[in-house]
Structure 1
């Protein structure tokens, strides 16, 4: 029986990868102009007519790629954060990391910086928020509890600051700020794809290198110390890795709510407690959620597209209420 369960759990990432691939292909072939699958796949490597190649390579492929990688980064970030804080309601959204990225990006928009500067600003904002979170929680007794409390306060502070900046921003730049804060994948290009690809390539290996130590850390600091895990150093690396993953995702896609919170829960229900397979499943689940939200948002209304962040937030709110109810029970 155990062997059957283990084999089933090992097959879950393969099924999710197939779903991500299928939904990604759907994103390549559908839109204002329908493109046959064969032509779309050929256009990804520069074959076919110029118009089709432009649509696929310049418009759809970067959007699909950013959705997949940003969702994967958010899913992995949430898995690390929830394990680090031993709290099922923890995520980069709730502890202020996403808020730091949002504040930096809105400040960059208000200052009139070019669009290509936004990813860098958001990544720096996420890193700064993680640094503040680490410093403020360093010299206290229970690191996990303190991280949560400080994070909630930091989230409230950054949210208020974003509201203040938006209220005072130049009206000519207000539209760009609101679109970014909604979590939109509109007009993603090769530069955005490169940014998230490089960030994921740097952060995901670190996350996989830490996941076994995270599984031990979840058993308690005393147990982790007893088996030789350097608790403080591991916490710092986990927080930094989670912040980097979230910052990279937010930098290219804006604050996509719920993904970092929901994907790890779904992953643990599918494959069990923290492990490399759980991290992979969380990443693939995050990618699938963002792809599905973007596809739904583009087709939800006939006359206007709905940002993916609005869709994920709308779908995530009922799930969060159910989770709070379940946790309370």
Structure 2
């Protein structure tokens, strides 16, 4: 009887998880449609339909296909990438506060991109497809530094030490970035300041094509490793007893998380909280098992970023609020609510 009840409970949990994934997907579609109609120049629903089917004016085609759609697609991709990266970090470290932004990985990626932009003749001419690679190098070096400082041979990887080391490294990198901004020309300083605030600056199809391979390759790989992450969550000793190569799997998953975060930061700037709030929200909706948690986190992250970007373009028209600021305004109160609930 007990095994039957466990099986029924698992089925209910799975059905609920699938329902949550469907609802999140529908909400993303609604946000996608609303975002296409948000901006200084409004397009009515009929204008949108006509333009999508090739019957729009040259001006409507320019607005929708050259400006809005690339930005919306990038918002969805970076939301999924950052949320899954945060979910992996939280699973590996067994620390609910782990996040690429807090651990300094986003800062490391940003530093290399900023160095390149600072010394490149013009921002517009920067090779688009090189930026994710540079961001990956910076994020990888930062992750290696944090991991080496946090890992002790006889104690393993301490979640608390990992978090504190990440915060310290992020603070050092942020200080270096501030020093670099003092040497920039006014136009580059304006760009870097906007980038650091979390503005989605890559708003054409080249940036979509630069980001897409990283997302298409790394997200399915992380989803494939869901069972391994479930085992790692049991602790190093238990996972080793079950036959899992803990250190190898941990390094592989960290590499995937770093790749996702670095590629996303290259086109999104310093957007924080997505890797923190997305997994938390998904965990509350579908539970801790990574088979459902990872896809739910990806969808929750996409919904968060596309909603934040749409609000940022709508609130102060014709001006814009950087997406990172809107995400922080949305995410910080929710995270404080989670902290208050956990203490109760």
TM-score (norm 1): 0.93
Report the equivalent of 1:101. 109
Structure-2 change in CA distance of 1:73 and 1:42 (3 Å)? farther
Structure-2 change in CA distance of 1:167 and 1:322 (3 Å)? farther
More deviation in 63-72 or 205-214?
A: 205-214
Of 14, 17, 28, 2:22 maps to 14
Report the equivalent of 1:55. 63
Report the equivalent of 2:146. 133
Of 151, 154, 164, 2:179 maps to 164
Report the equivalent of 1:260. 275
Q: Given the alignment of the two structures, is residue 242 of structure 1 paired with residue 250 of structure 2, yes or no?
A: no
Provide the rounded CA distance (Å) in 2 between the counterparts of 1:309 and 1:265.
Answer: 18
RMSD over aligned CA atoms reads 2.1
> Given that residues 13 and 286 in structure 2 are in contact (C-alpha distance below 8 angstroms), is that contact kept between their aligned partners in structure 1?
no
Provide the rounded CA distance (Å) in 2 between the counterparts of 1:252 and 1:29.
Answer: 23
> Given that residues 25 and 37 in structure 1 are in contact (C-alpha distance below 8 angstroms), is that contact kept between their aligned partners in structure 2?
no
Is the radius of gyration larger for structure 1 or structure 2? 2
Which runs of 5 or more structure 2 residues have no equivalent in the other structure? 1-7
Report the equivalent of 2:4. none
Report the equivalent of 1:81. 89
Structure-2 change in CA distance of 1:50 and 1:235 (3 Å)? same
More deviation in 258-267 or 247-256?
A: 247-256
Provide the rounded CA distance (Å) in 1 between the counterparts of 2:238 and 2:149.
Answer: 25
Map of 1:172-191 to 2, 5 A cutoff?
Answer: 172-186=187-201, 188-191=203-206
Map of 1:1-329 to 2, 5 A cutoff?
Answer: 2=9, 3-37=11-45, 39-41=47-49, 43-44=51-52, 46-112=54-120, 114-115=125-126, 116=128, 117-140=130-153, 141-145=155-159, 146-186=161-201, 188-328=203-343
> Given that residues 223 and 291 in structure 2 are in contact (C-alpha distance below 8 angstroms), is that contact kept between their aligned partners in structure 1?
yes
> Given that residues 39 and 318 in structure 2 are in contact (C-alpha distance below 8 angstroms), is that contact kept between their aligned partners in structure 1?
no
> Given that residues 83 and 274 in structure 1 are in contact (C-alpha distance below 8 angstroms), is that contact kept between their aligned partners in structure 2?
no
More deviation in 142-151 or 43-52?
A: 43-52
> Given that residues 182 and 255 in structure 1 are in contact (C-alpha distance below 8 angstroms), is that contact kept between their aligned partners in structure 2?
yes
Q: SS state of the match for residue 168, structure 1?
A: coil
Provide the rounded CA distance (Å) in 2 between the counterparts of 1:195 and 1:289.
Answer: 22
State the aligned residue count: 329
> Given that residues 84 and 144 in structure 1 are in contact (C-alpha distance below 8 angstroms), is that contact kept between their aligned partners in structure 2?
no
Listed one character per residue, the Cα deviations across residues 124-180 of structure 1 (whole Å, up to 9, x for unaligned) are 221221232333344432314343333222212211111221233233310010111
Alpha-carbon distance, 1:27 to partner = 1.3
> Given that residues 76 and 260 in structure 1 are in contact (C-alpha distance below 8 angstroms), is that contact kept between their aligned partners in structure 2?
yes
Structure-2 change in CA distance of 1:133 and 1:286 (3 Å)? same
Alpha-carbon distance, 1:277 to partner = 1.3
More deviation in 292-301 or 26-35?
A: 26-35
Alpha-carbon distance, 1:220 to partner = 0.7
More deviation in 261-270 or 248-257?
A: 248-257
TM-score (norm 2): 0.89
Alpha-carbon distance, 1:327 to partner = 4.3
Q: SS state of the match for residue 183, structure 1?
A: coil
